[in-house]
Structure 1
Amino acid sequence: MNLSQYTKEFSYNLRLAYPIILGMVGHTLIGIVDNIMVGKLGSTELAAVSLGNSMVFIAISLGIGFSTAITPIVAEADAEKNDGKIRSAFHHGLFLCTILGFMLFGVVVLAKPIMELLDQPADVITLAKPYLDWVAFSMIPLVIYQGYKQFADGLSLTKYSMYAMIMANILHVGLNYVLIYGIWFFPKMGIIGAALGTVISRIMMVMFMHIMLSRREELKRYFQNFSFEEIKKESIKKIVALGFPSALQMLFEVVLFAASIWLCGNIGKTSQAANQIALSLASMTFMFAMGLSVTSMIRVSNQRGLNDFKNLVVVARSIFLLAIIIEIIFAILFVAFHDLLPYVFLNMEDGAQLLDNKEVISIASKLLLIAAVFQITDGIQVVVLGALRGLQDVKIPMYITFVAYWIIGFPISYYLGEYTELKAQGVWIGLLAGLTAAAIFLYIRFHYLTKKLINNSVSKA
């Protein structure tokens, strides 16, 4: 194996990936900003926002997962120089994202009674319900924005979504400040103010993307003369056939992590707090792998459009290698600072909480050692999944992720967490097992498919 053939791709991979990574960190920051600003109102308000967001987060994962179907079709058509195919993917994708946004909004609003079944305090539920209505509504512009983002990503124009996300975050902080606390002539709206800040900033994101993309000279032709007569059943079927399994892949992983929160909550509040600390840190480092996953999807789709399958393998492996190197660096940092990192999340001055906090730090520091290994396999599975989406292979990976997370990972988490002394560490060993299984099986699938494509192209030649 000649290492230089992979490393020479690194700089282009990083140029494509860094705006996506920053955009994804921006997505995470909107939730974190809400938590920090609402936290100043009180613990009941913070619990209400957390409860509302947990329901919306699962729905958002479906919307984002579905929208990823647009990118490989656009990227493949871009390599083929097929304008008609790009326009069709963009218009059909945007049309479907709009419908899905309204559907997800409806489902989340109708699912509000589930809150009562989750044994949450009555005062938390009372606050969470009106907050949830507004945040659920913000999913409509968010999923439509995803339609624009995936179109731009497919054309390797990854910076626009980064600009939109930076603008949205700045606007979100300002809106939250005046609407939550009632600054100037604005009324003090509490957590409803936080929800409205999210809605307005997401609507602005869509407007920003539309204006920025439609003004680009070479993209104007994709924005002109849209009519519903252009919407064709076959094109809708193709996007749904790619988007639905992709949405389920993302859902399987998101619900597994939601289940880890529930399992740790069953064990006790210190385990739940420690789990939250470890998850927050692992989520931030995961954004780097997610950015590389989108890069993998774009570049593999390009090579598929060019029918250059040998180079497709080189490009994909260069991204896998880059993801492994980056995640190993994070793993070393986690191991080196596993005793110190939890302190960032806790107030050690609070005497009443000191005993609990010490226990949280003890558990979280052990979880971070598992997280060090787990993020390497998590990084591998997500970049290989991106490459498979680039090959427009989504159905078998959907089954692989289900088996890895729910037949292998969750039972191990449940057994070790509930029935052994490992407790929260046991939950995380299960997560590690599920992600490792996914990484191995997805890579075997990628290797099998690319070998088949190369052999077929050789026999045709």
Structure 2
Amino acid sequence: MRKFFAMKLSVYTREFKENIKLAYPIILGMLGHTLVSIVDNIMVGRLGPTELAAVSLANSFVFIGMSLGIGFSTAITPLIAEADGENSLVKGRSVFHHGLVLCSVLGLVLFGVIYAAKPLIVLMGQPKEVVEMARPFLDLVAFSLIPLVVFQGYKQFADGKSETKYAMWANLLCNVVHLFLNIVLIYGVWFFPKMGMLGAAFGTVISRIVMVIYMHIALKSKDKFKPYFDGFSIKGIGKVMSLKIINLGLPSAMQMFFEVALFTGAIWLCGRIGTASQAANQIALTLATFTFMFVSGLSVAGMVRVGNQKGIGDFIKLRIVARSIFLLAIIVQGTFALLFVLLHTILPHFFVNENVLQTGEVISIASSLILIAAVFQLSDGIQVVVLGALRGIQDVKVPMYITFVAYWIIGFPISIYLGFYTNLKAIGVWIGLLSGLTAAALFLYLRFNKLSKKLIIHNTY
């Protein structure tokens, strides 16, 4: 029995090497996105809890836009992967051109919407001093969505071609530039003005513009990608391919939106509870987001490999690849869960100034939230890698409904009740997050299991 189990398990573990080879540059690239926020939080957190809460509030708006932009752009990857599996340059070039134009338009739209919606920040019931600090920060960081979403168009194309290192190097460059600008602009080093938290916002905008420029030059200069840049014309952008990308991208964007909006809702709820709760929420959320990037990278790797197998038509292999990704995600997130439990009282200290008022309360609340984050590591990991596999087979509409129900019918009401009507407060808000993520993981896996079986049966007969 033990030998049988080991043999069955080896079917999936044999895929680990290929999964990791494809995923690790994606993970490093995604960590690059996250490190921009982490660096901001650590440096701004040294200024005080109010500044950290203001960054958290402003970023809550920007994260919504970012989720829509990144979610939409993921439609490019499975289509490119499928075209690559079919060895079709014409189809791949069409997807790339249309995807890049749509991402550029979307970036502009998202910036405009967030800028126009800025007055809503007053209605969120946040402390007055936090709102006043958040407004100018929001303007600048919202503008950075334009280069970020354009970058995603390039990144998803390269990922779909299984060339994941280009985005990794672009993000590394972005972080070097961002760290330098943060140091000199927040604290006023050398001849640079001391701008406080606004310095972090300028650093974000400039570093993301640099990232896009690097990505364009890096891809266009390589022989492998040159044919995909040929014949680009706005007049060549047609309705059929645009609608195909939109039909895949819009539900994918909404899936990511529902999850990010849930965590954004947690930011607002904790802000209504108090500044200390909001600052503590931001610390725990930053750490959870950091670990989430590892399984997000695995999710993209799964989407690419599943998309390739769909193009080839090997659905048995497709199911094996997907399950190997799921197993790897469980191992990775289980490791992080253990680290969170062991270090939950230590980690918050990296984000606060011990000499600032309310620091002790922030650390205490954050320590408890990190323990809950440890529990939902597995749920969060499973739901995102299963979503990647479903996108690989281009199933996006039903998962969109599943994520809405899980996060907004199950998770958020629990957060509201436990956060406002019990003594749990911020801890109760995070129990709601855990509930939503667990429901999503369960129902999404059932969906993939059903569809992958159906593909095998249909292909057999």
TM range (shorter): over 0.9
1:259 is matched with 265
Q: 2:442 aligns with which of 436, 440, 443?
A: 440
Written as runs of structure 1 = structure 2, the 5 A alignment for 1:288-437 is 288-348=294-354, 350=355, 353=357, 356-437=358-439
- Separation in 2 of the partners of 1:101 and 1:158? 22
425 and 174 in structure 1: CA distance in 2 versus 1, 3 angstrom threshold: closer
Offset of 1:14 from its aligned partner? Answer: 0.8
Deviates more, 1:13-22 or 1:236-245: 13-22
2:455 is matched with 453
- Separation in 2 of the partners of 1:159 and 1:435? 30
190 and 268 in structure 1: CA distance in 2 versus 1, 3 angstrom threshold: closer
Q: 1:240 aligns with which of 229, 246, 255?
A: 246
Provide Cα deviations, 1:402-450, integer angstroms capped at 9, x if missing partner: 0011111111222222223333332222211111110111011101111
Asked if 1:283 is matched to 2:289, the reply is: yes
Deviates more, 1:267-276 or 1:230-239: 267-276
Offset of 1:342 from its aligned partner? Answer: 3.3
- Separation in 1 of the partners of 2:343 and 2:190? 43
- Separation in 1 of the partners of 2:173 and 2:85? 31
Provide Cα deviations, 1:217-270, integer angstroms capped at 9, x if missing partner: 121111122112321101000000001011111111111111122223333444
TM-score after normalising by structure 2? 0.93
Deviates more, 1:35-44 or 1:112-121: 35-44
Offset of 1:127 from its aligned partner? Answer: 4.6
Q: Which amino acid aligns with 1:167?
A: L
- Separation in 2 of the partners of 1:328 and 1:123? 39
Contact 2:170–2:215 (CA under 8 A) maintained in structure 1: yes
1:173 is matched with 179
Contact 2:80–2:161 (CA under 8 A) maintained in structure 1: yes
Contact 2:50–2:275 (CA under 8 A) maintained in structure 1: no
- Separation in 2 of the partners of 1:45 and 1:339? 22
Q: Which amino acid aligns with 2:33?
A: H
Unpaired segments ≥5 residues, structure 1: none
36 and 437 in structure 1: CA distance in 2 versus 1, 3 angstrom threshold: closer
User: Identity of counterpart residues, as a percentage?
Assistant: 66
Contact 2:315–2:456 (CA under 8 A) maintained in structure 1: yes
Q: Which amino acid aligns with 1:227?
A: S
Provide Cα deviations, 1:47-99, integer angstroms capped at 9, x if missing partner: 54433322212111110110000000001111110111110110000000010
2:33 is matched with 27
Q: Which amino acid aligns with 2:368?
A: K
Report the 3-state secondary structure (helix = DSSP H, G, I; strand = E; otherwise coil) of the residue aligned with 1:225: coil
368 and 200 in structure 1: CA distance in 2 versus 1, 3 angstrom threshold: closer
Provide Cα deviations, 1:15-74, integer angstroms capped at 9, x if missing partner: 111111111111111122233444556666555443332221211111011000000000
- Separation in 2 of the partners of 1:191 and 1:346? 15
- Separation in 1 of the partners of 2:37 and 2:91? 36
- Separation in 1 of the partners of 2:55 and 2:159? 31
Provide Cα deviations, 1:162-193, integer angstroms capped at 9, x if missing partner: 10000011111222333444444444444444
1:59 is matched with 65
- Separation in 2 of the partners of 1:423 and 1:126? 25
26 and 70 in structure 1: CA distance in 2 versus 1, 3 angstrom threshold: same
Report the 3-state secondary structure (helix = DSSP H, G, I; strand = E; otherwise coil) of the residue aligned with 1:218: coil
Higher relative contact order (CA 8 A, sep 6+): 2
Report the 3-state secondary structure (helix = DSSP H, G, I; strand = E; otherwise coil) of the residue aligned with 2:232: coil
Q: Which amino acid aligns with 1:321?
A: L
- Separation in 2 of the partners of 1:47 and 1:153? 35
Contact 2:93–2:228 (CA under 8 A) maintained in structure 1: yes
Q: Which amino acid aligns with 1:439?
A: A
Q: Which amino acid aligns with 1:144?
A: V
Q: 1:206 aligns with which of 207, 212, 222?
A: 212
Unpaired segments ≥5 residues, structure 2: none
Deviates more, 1:110-119 or 1:47-56: 47-56
Deviates more, 1:333-342 or 1:431-440: 333-342
Deviates more, 1:156-165 or 1:115-124: 115-124
- Separation in 2 of the partners of 1:43 and 1:428? 20
Q: Which amino acid aligns with 1:210?
A: H
- Separation in 2 of the partners of 1:199 and 1:386? 29
Asked if 1:194 is matched to 2:192, the reply is: no
- Separation in 1 of the partners of 2:177 and 2:226? 28
Q: Which amino acid aligns with 1:404?
A: A
2:160 is matched with 154
Report the 3-state secondary structure (helix = DSSP H, G, I; strand = E; otherwise coil) of the residue aligned with 2:376: helix
TM-score after normalising by structure 1? 0.93
Contact 2:416–2:429 (CA under 8 A) maintained in structure 1: yes
